[in-house]
Amino acid sequence: MILSPKYQLIQKLARDFAEKEIPESMQEEIDQTGKYPESLYRKITDNGFFGIKIPKEYGGQGGDNLAYVLFVEQISRVSMVTSIYISGANSLGSGPLLNAATPEQLEKYLRPVAEGKKFPAFALTEPGAGSDAAGLQSSAVRDGDYYVLNGRKTFITGAPIADFAIIYAKTDFSKGAKGISAFIVDMDTPGISLGRNEKKMGIIGMPTSDIILEDVRVHKDSLLGEEGMGFINAMKTLDVGRLGVAATALGVAQACLEEAIDFAKNRKQFGQRIADFQAISFMIAQMATQIQACRELLYNSAVLKDTNAKDAGMHCSMAKLFVTETACRIAHDALQIHGGYGYIKDYRIERLYRDIRVNTLFEGTSQVQQIVISKELLKK
């Protein structure tokens, strides 16, 4: 896809910011300590990056899905954990609000997200309801002007730092998915507590934990949309979220390719650069070709979503499935080219390899994407 000057500028803005503000030394420190620098968070805020997709009337940049994936890809090419902060605000955090919030809710929650004053969390997954999101067991019982929430959400990205969470709970267990409703819940509400900060394989620096709900009382004004419409809200949100995950994986895959090329050109064996061996050069050619195929599929899917094209949701799932699976293979090959050095933490590829793995799990596993795609195709 040939990008217009506007979108090329968006790419350059993200690339220049990442390369200037997120040096490798900072990334190593984040990975070692698990602490994300407040100074970097503030720079993201000051540049308005938490509001890329948020409408201008609510303090955002008003960007479309193509702008969003271009931006996330370039950030992730340098720092995947930073891309998670940015995409968390622009997709799963703001998506449910854009889909169903009242003007009052948008002012109270969406504007502060765009301004970097509040960080959101998307709380759908439960210990017994991951891929089977409709099987969630959290409950929301009406009590006058309030709802009383009970349950446990798990693997919630950003929960320990979130100011509020979009909580999905059943208001009517007899209706299955149609009995799920969504609520905007401030994290300082009595009855909310957190599980342990999970010790993850990658994206260290973005904390993840359970959210525990014990008789949490929220006013009816916290209901997001209508009762029973929560599952639809979540699925619409995940369409855009899947584009973001694919963009994140694509950025890391590009970084893996660059690391492999650099290593292959400098590492010598048997009296020559390993890049001069056909086996290595062909691996690099295959990786680059796969990345370009991923890029075309992702950008096209974003445009289809922007134009509300028929089957846009299916194409988002296709992009998520193909790009994340391909990116993981590229990371594998890049590490293989490094040989034993790739297994050592002194080399960047080791961290990239750990970080990228989660993308086939985030926001619907690869197998869930296959279900979505096949159902759409076979119903025709």
CB 330 within 8 A of CB 283: no
Nearest to 333 by CA among 279, 369, 268: 279
Instruction: Round to whole Å and give the CA distance between 291 and 335.
Output: 16
Residues β-bridged to residue 140: 149
Specify whether the backbone of 158 is left (phi greater than 0), alpha (psi in -120 to 50) or beta.
Answer: left
Tokens of 358: 């989660």
Q: Is the dihedral of CA 171, 236, 72, 54 positive or negative?
A: negative
**Crossing angle for the helix pair 65-78 and 230-266, to the nearest 10 degrees:** 40
Q: Which residues contact 141 (CB under 8 A, 6 or more apart)?
A: 147, 148, 150, 171
CA gap 108, 373 in Å, rounded: 36
- Catalytic positions are 363
Query: What are the residue ranges of helices labelled H in 37-133?
Result: 38-46, 65-78, 80-90, 95-100, 103-105, 111-114
Contact 342, 357 (CB under 8 A): no
Nearest by Cα to 304 from 319, 289, 291, 282: 319
d(CA 167, CA 123): 5
Q: How buried is residue 311: exposed, middle or buried, by Cβ count under 10 Å (0-12/13-18/19+)?
A: middle
Bridge partners of 180, per DSSP, are 170
For 47, the token pair is 């540049």
Strands 208-219 and 146-157: antiparallel
The secondary structure of residue 226, as a DSSP letter, is S
